[in-house]
Amino acid sequence: MTDISMDTMVRAAAHPRRDIGLKARYAAERRFRIYGVVAISVGLAFLAIMLITIVSKGYTAFWQTTVSLPISFDEKVIDPSGKRATDPSVLIKANYPKLAENALVAKLGINPDDKPAIKQLKGFLSEGARVQLRDIVAADPSVIGTTRDVNILAAANLDSAFKGQIDLSVEEARRKVSDQQITWMNKLKAEGAMAEHFNSGLFTYGASSRPETSGMGVAIIGSFYMMVIVLLLALPIGVAASIYLEEFAKKNRFTDLIEVNINNLAAVPSIVFGLLGLAVFINFLGMPRSAAFVGGLVLTLMTLPTIIIATRAALAAVPPSIRSAALGLGASKMQMVFQHILPLAAPGILTGTIIGLARALGETAPLLLIGMVAFVADPPTTPFDPATALPVQIYMWANEAERAFVERMSGAIIILLVFLMAMNITAIVLRRRFERRW
Amino acid sequence: MSSLLVLAIVVAVGLVAFFIGRQRAAAQDNGKVKPHSRAHYHGWWAFLLAVLPALLLLAVWTVGSSIYLDRHIHAALPERTVDSKVASEALDVSLVKSLARGLRKLDAGTLAAMPASFAELQPLLAAKGVALASDTQDYMIPIAVEANKVQDRLGLFGAIVILVSSIAGAFYALRQIEPRARARNNVERLMLWGLLAASTIAILTTIGIVLSMLFQTITFFESVSPMRFFFGTVWDPRFSAAGSGGSQGQFGLIPLLAGTLYIAAVALLVAVPVGLMSAVYMAEYATPRVRSVVKPALELLAGIPTIVYGIFAVVTLGPFLRDLSAALTGGSPFIQGQSIFTAGLVMGVMLIPVVSSLSDDIITAVPRAMRDGSLGLGATRSETIKRVILPAALPGIVGAILLTASRAIGETMIVVLAAGVAANLTINPFEAMTTITVKIVNQLTGDLEFNSPQTLVAFALGLTLFALTLVMNIVALYIVRKYREQYE
């Protein structure tokens, strides 16, 4: 505060000035500012609410309840007629759930003749126990006749109950776990046999109709293939196209046409690219449906404009003096571009590429049309095998009714967001680190 | 020989040519004559001459031989009669082809003692993991065996031609090598053609989009008249009216278009004021520190995939609004779980960063002098914004809003999850309506038959959507470009 302002204040007091509406104008100014703050807070609040609800719904998906049981690989159950030496298919078809059931009956101390109790046990362990035990026996048939501790997945409803997600005050008939099952669960919990473990299956399993044995393994591999294809195709083609347009193209009708096309393609709805993929790649060229390869091609076409626009901006940002210097020293135009301009523009190109890839990774709509909404249980070995993608897997789980699937879906969203966040942060760091102001 | 192997050999020939060429050019440089190009350009020229023509030949040969094979199978098939067991000739050919592909997996011993009936063959193939259509006929087996032989012969002949051309190209380039040869110019000319080819992909994509959808749309209009599509008010693709015969449904665009525009309008009502105000605040008021925090956060909002917004709408916001409205009336909810309001609201939030980043660019493009002039005359900041900056930026902002609207119309995942599938015509924003994009997804997921109007209508919808957004984009881009030039 200076003398001048003091001075004006004193004088203002001495001579009351004409009211020119300053007060109202300043109030309007303050209101306007508040609108701005409100607008930004609305956006950020929504972001916060969305992230909080997703994380709070999904973080439990990273743990899964298992029951540790001493399984006795009883020869009488696995191979009652003793034919396994001559007919290996006996080991595949054996009644493995019975083994788990027997172990659970023994563990809980239930009378083996108590039929109603045994019936309630059916929904206790996951159906996945069959595959799990079969794999143990198939890997090492000498295990038959011995007893071994095995961690078996609990059924999805018991998993939810164990995590405290099922409201036990609801009457028994209207919830999915019975009082008897809860009692057993608490007993096993007290003994330490039933516990939560890190859910590695979420990252390795394929599609399954049972929540506890379904995971995103297939989707992660499918998305990975697609990202590799997009990177291998979109980056070279995009950079080549940008170099032509920025450095070589003469200003004429044809160049204008290309530019309008690229700008327009950047704003074309993504689902239209899906229609293109379905009509051209699958229907006309006869490529396989649901394959990551086709998905990669569609996403490449979708990502190209993004990469071209970013690359052109990066090339244009390199000052003309560099070009003149290279040409003046006798470089050809091609040498100037590839040996001088391109390396200087590389950080900008990389940033644009990563942002384009992140968009492609989160894209769902075009993939729905080329048949990636598929029930794929086995991981694809090549990009031509049926696969799904991360966002498509999320979409499929969103259409399931069971609450355990909602948990998995939220967990999958968290993983997808982590991937995207990592990519975006890499892009920002790259830009900060290597950005040059000329 | 498989084309992959041929490709590998061609590339190997090219690499050998590269090294020989480079070596030769370097050896010729004795210091007496100044070489025109550096040695590696000679190498690259040899590589390109060895590989490019061969690749072209390979592509032509692959397409050509598959067409020849088709004709061969056609000719070998028995004359079609009324009691032919297979529905169509095209199916006949494709059955033979898949049988031939399956036979390739059998080992030589099985092939020598080829069973003559399909019933015996099927288990052999199944053991190799080949599943065949059950209407494969016995007479197809010898044809398939013959087709494989023809294919082998063609493949071998083609491979020889391609390899010879590759080696010839390499020799031609290598013989040209001398100090004054303009290898660099040759290589660079080819590179320029490559760059040009890459940039035409954008045009090819657009042509591909238009043509692919146009063909399917024309087929669709053969069974449903354009009048009934564009002006029909009932969307019911599965419904076959009594007397209309066949599986004709009703494909009225109007309810879908109305839903699309309604939801987009709600979204814009949310996104434009909020996005514009945040852009103004960020450009004119925010301190650098606030900017450095809020800007990345808004970018984060833009980076979240739309499926996440859709799931938030359907899992959290929809039920919340439904329960809220039920609590307000004390009885039945007046907001449905899936509604125009929910979908539009969430889509609007998704679009906030789009509006704000577009208008941020436009606002900061207004020349400093205009701002300073207004402030210097005693206007407050908000007066400057409202009376000087926004009017000056108005064309640009209109362009930005148009671009945003085109995003809203083409958005898919949010509406697929949150807007509902029932094609209603309603003006109540709390009821469900459906959109063009939802119906495209609905009609094309699941098992497809490519000739039914139920599937083809998706392409007509897609073309409508494409045309709609194309017009908006071009107008918007034109406005934005004109506006930018105005102040440059």
DSSP letters, B215-278, are HHHHHHHHHS-HHHHHH---EETT---TTT-TT--EE-SHHHHHHHHHHHHHHHHHHHHHHHHH
Residue-level pLDDT at A238: 95
CA–CA gap between residue A237 and residue A231 (Å, rounded): 10
Residues A44, B294: C-beta atoms closer than 8 Å: yes
Residue-level pLDDT at B46: 92
Number of A/B CB contacts below 8 angstroms equals 252
Residues B305, A278: C-beta atoms closer than 8 Å: no
Digit-coded pLDDT (tens) for A156-189: 888 888 888 887 777 777 777 888 888 888 888 8
> Can you tell me the mean pLDDT for A43-62?
89
Show Cβ contacts of residue A280 under 8 Å, excluding neighbours closer than 6 positions: B208, B212
> B-chain residues within 8 Å CB-CB of A279?
212-213, 215-216, 459
Residues B277, A35: C-beta atoms closer than 8 Å: yes
CA–CA gap between residue A397 and residue B328 (Å, rounded): 32
Quickly count: other Cβ atoms within 10 Å of residue B48's Cβ.
21
Residues A249, B198: C-beta atoms closer than 8 Å: no
> Can you tell me the mean pLDDT for A137-142?
80
In chain A, whose CA is at the least distance from the CA of B458? A275
Which amino acid belongs to residue B248? Q
Residues A395, B413: C-beta atoms closer than 8 Å: yes
Residue-level pLDDT at A356: 92
Digit-coded pLDDT (tens) for A205-250: 888 888 888 888 899 999 999 999 999 999 999 999 999 999 998 8
In chain B, whose CA is at the least distance from the CA of A417? B304
pLDDT in tens, chain B (488 residues): 577 888 999 999 999 999 999 988 888 877 788 888 888 899 999 999 999 999 999 989 988 888 888 888 888 877 766 666 666 666 777 778 777 877 777 776 666 666 667 777 777 777 666 667 667 777 777 888 888 888 888 888 888 999 999 999 999 988 888 888 888 999 999 999 999 999 998 889 999 999 988 988 998 888 888 888 888 888 877 644 444 444 557 788 888 999 999 999 999 999 999 999 999 998 889 898 988 888 888 888 888 999 999 999 988 888 898 888 888 887 778 888 788 999 999 999 999 999 998 888 888 888 889 999 999 998 999 999 999 998 888 888 988 999 999 999 999 999 998 888 777 788 888 888 889 999 898 888 766 666 777 888 889 999 999 999 999 988 888 887 787 777 66
Asked if A344 and A243 touch (Cβ cutoff 8 Å), the reply is: no
User: Hey, which residues 182-221 in chain B have their CB within 8 Å of chain A?
Assistant: 184, 188, 191-192, 194-196, 198-203, 205-206, 208-209, 212-213, 215-216
Q: Could you tell me the domains of chain B?
A: 3-199 (no CATH), 250-487 (1.10.3720.10)
Q: How close is the nearest chain A Cα to the Cα of B198, in Å?
A: 5
Smallest Cβ distance to B305: which of A236, A257, A391? A391
B301 in contact with chain A, both atoms CB, cutoff 8 A: yes
Kind and range of the H or E run holding A344: helix A342-362
Show Cβ contacts of residue A425 under 8 Å, excluding neighbours closer than 6 positions: none
Residues A265, B205: C-beta atoms closer than 8 Å: yes
Residues B349, A46: C-beta atoms closer than 8 Å: yes
Residue-level pLDDT at B366: 87
Residue-level pLDDT at B246: 46
CA–CA gap between residue A421 and residue B392 (Å, rounded): 37
Roughly what angle, to the nearest 10 degrees, separates helices B39-76 and B3-28? 160
Give backbone dihedrals phi and psi of A291, rounded to 5 degrees, phi first: -85, 145
Residue-level pLDDT at A212: 83
Both tokens assigned to A201: 């299956």
In chain B, whose CA is at the least distance from the CA of A241? B199
> A-chain residues within 8 Å CB-CB of B301?
43, 46-47
Smallest Cβ distance to B212: which of A25, A260, A279? A279
Residues B477, A263: C-beta atoms closer than 8 Å: yes
Tell me which of A390 and A85 has the higher pLDDT.
A390
> B-chain residues within 8 Å CB-CB of A43?
274, 278, 298, 301, 349, 352-353, 356
ipTM of the complex as predicted? 0.86
Asked if A41 and A396 touch (Cβ cutoff 8 Å), the reply is: no
Which one-letter DSSP state was computed for residue A399? T
What predicted TM-score, i.e. pTM, was given to this entire model? 0.86
Digit-coded pLDDT (tens) for A272-327: 999 999 888 888 887 888 889 999 999 999 999 999 999 999 999 999 999 999 99
Q: Which long-range contacts (CB under 8 A, 24 or more apart) does A169-175 make?
A: none
CA–CA gap between residue A379 and residue A385 (Å, rounded): 9
Digit-coded pLDDT (tens) for A354-412: 999 999 999 999 999 888 888 888 888 888 888 899 999 999 998 887 778 888 899 99
Q: Could you tell me the domains of chain A?
A: 63-198 (no CATH), 217-434 (1.10.3720.10)
Best probe of the B interface among A264, A283, A308, by most B CBs < 10 A, is A264
Asked if A270 and B412 touch (Cβ cutoff 8 Å), the reply is: yes
CA–CA gap between residue B186 and residue B229 (Å, rounded): 55
Residue-level pLDDT at B462: 93
Asked if A350 and A428 touch (Cβ cutoff 8 Å), the reply is: no
DSSP states of A118-181: HHHHTTTB-TTHHHHHHHHHHH-GGGTTSEEEEEEEBPHHHHHHHTT-S-TTS-GGGSSS-HHH
Q: Measure CA B202 to chain center.
A: 11
In chain A, whose CA is at the least distance from the CA of B309? A50
Residue-level pLDDT at A1: 46
Residue-level pLDDT at B83: 61
Residue-level pLDDT at B240: 41
Residue-level pLDDT at A7: 55
Q: What is chain A's mean pLDDT, rounded?
A: 85
Q: List beta partners, residue A71.
A: A148
Q: How close is the nearest chain B Cα to the Cα of A183, in Å?
A: 32
